[in-house]
Structure 1
Amino acid sequence: MNLFYIQSSIRGMSYVASFLEDNFIGMTWPGTGNLEEMLPEEWNERLRGHYKLEETELAGVMKDFDVFVHTMQDGDYVVIKDDEWAYVGDLGDYYYDDSLGIEEDFICHRRGVTWLGRIPLEDLNDKVQALIHQTGTLAKFEHPVSQAQLDRYLTGMNEPTEGTEGKNSPATKVDKATIDAALHVMRQALDSEDINIRVRAAEAILQYARSQ
């Protein structure tokens, strides 16, 4: 598993709200088609055909696409940020969506994301601070993901309030039958027509899986 950072401000406009609400991250450069179905040489031709890029910029865009389409994998972590918070999500597959159009600012190259939680920027450790302050569009965390120390925040988003520690402490045991029944309910919720219910069920299942 790897951790990535992606810029959420594109040409001065923040897409954090869109990423969070619609459960995706993405890059612009519309009009190039689904890059997963092409060789890098074809990417180069498509980019040259649609955009007037100098060689240095073209090389940078090609590198970003290689990371976004091929290096990132389903199940990796991704982090985005605004002025106060870092938002951590579980990555899904790459897809191309130009259903709204192919104007310059449209984000057509996408990956689905299940958002797991948010962390105050000042609580991020030095390694993650370095990651989110890189200037490029995409950056990979060049350490084991455990060194990002994110799980302790994500699994503790619903920490017990003062005076209720005993109710949710690790010492409180839940029998296997109850756990199995709860997981069954969450799996059924994944098929709900309500997107919010599906997302919450997915988050709960992923967090349970990581706690094992």
Structure 2
Amino acid sequence: MNVFLLNSELHGARHVPAFLRDHYVGFEWPGIGDLEQLSKEAGQEKAVQACDQKGAALLDRLLEIGSFVYDMQDGDYLFLADGDHVHMGDLGDYYYVDRPSEEEAGLCHRRGVTWLKSLLRSELHPELKSFVDRKVTISKLERKVTPEQIEHWLDKPFGQARDTERTCAVDQETIKLALDILRKAMRSGDADRRERAAIAVLQFAKP
């Protein structure tokens, strides 16, 4: 499957609550109309005719349309960057809403999304974090991924995984011996030694 990024900071963060609530993502692109039955070339030609933008702005619009309407496919995964959070969803087909409500702000061009999980950006796997940090409206990961690779990315927040690896570097027998020593130190006649031993035990007991 392919993996895509939609950056709400560049597309309009105000749309995110509606996207999450109503299970879709969308674009306005006024004057273009329904692209479902058009080829990629015909759709982009129609966009050129309808768009009043020129130069780099027009190129950005064509790239957005190409990715959103034609490159994304049912079953691909989408990561929606939303400030400190990233929302992951399973993409559906492209569809066109002729008359969106005023609240929907003219977002005619849409794809359904089954939202699966929300993640903290700071806890993402390094490869995934590098992808969602891209400063573009839409982006496609350069390689396909398998469901197993997605699970690997999401199995455990990266910071927790590193903590687990560090803890497991000490075998259980050594940990037991160290705790026995600390317990004996807690019965010491030296108040300062008892306090330091108690602090060490409490730190170990933290989840």
2:34 maps to a residue whose letter is N
CA 1:140–1:70 in 2, change beyond 3 Å: closer, same or farther? same
- 2:26 match: 26
Q: Secondary structure at the match of 2:92?
A: strand
- 1:136 match: 136
Q: Which whole-Å CA distance do the structure 1 matches of 2:100 and 2:31 have between them?
A: 12
- 2:98 match: 98
2:130 maps to a residue whose letter is A
Identity of aligned residues (%): 34
1:124 equivalent in alignment to 2:124: yes
> Any conservation in 2 of the 1:128–1:141 contact (CA below 8 Å)?
no
- 2:199 match: none
TM-superposition CA deviations, 1:153-207 (whole Å, max 9, x none): 7678xxxxxxxxxxxxxxxxxxxxxxxxxxxxxxxxxxxxxxxxxxxxxxxxxxx
- 2:81 match: 81
Q: Which whole-Å CA distance do the structure 2 matches of 1:4 and 1:94 have between them?
A: 14
- 2:55 match: 55
The farther-off stretch of 75-84 and 56-65 is 56-65
Mapping of 1:32-43 within 5 angstroms?
A: 32-43=32-43
> Any conservation in 1 of the 2:13–2:82 contact (CA below 8 Å)?
no
Q: CA deviation at 1:41?
A: 4.7
1:93 maps to a residue whose letter is D
Q: Which whole-Å CA distance do the structure 1 matches of 2:142 and 2:45 have between them?
A: 31
The farther-off stretch of 141-150 and 74-83 is 141-150
Q: Which whole-Å CA distance do the structure 1 matches of 2:43 and 2:64 have between them?
A: 12
> Any conservation in 1 of the 2:74–2:91 contact (CA below 8 Å)?
yes
> Any conservation in 2 of the 1:43–1:62 contact (CA below 8 Å)?
no
1:109 maps to a residue whose letter is H
- 1:69 match: 69
1:28 maps to a residue whose letter is E
CA 1:92–1:149 in 2, change beyond 3 Å: closer, same or farther? same
Q: CA deviation at 1:39?
A: 3.5
Q: CA deviation at 1:141?
A: 1.5
Q: Which whole-Å CA distance do the structure 1 matches of 2:122 and 2:13 have between them?
A: 23
TM-score when normalising by structure 1: 0.63
Q: Which whole-Å CA distance do the structure 1 matches of 2:152 and 2:119 have between them?
A: 10
Q: Secondary structure at the match of 1:36?
A: coil
Q: Which whole-Å CA distance do the structure 2 matches of 1:12 and 1:63 have between them?
A: 17
Once superposed, what is the RMSD of the aligned Cα atoms? 3.1
Q: Which whole-Å CA distance do the structure 1 matches of 2:86 and 2:11 have between them?
A: 20
- 5+ residue gaps in structure 1? 157-212
2:142 maps to a residue whose letter is E
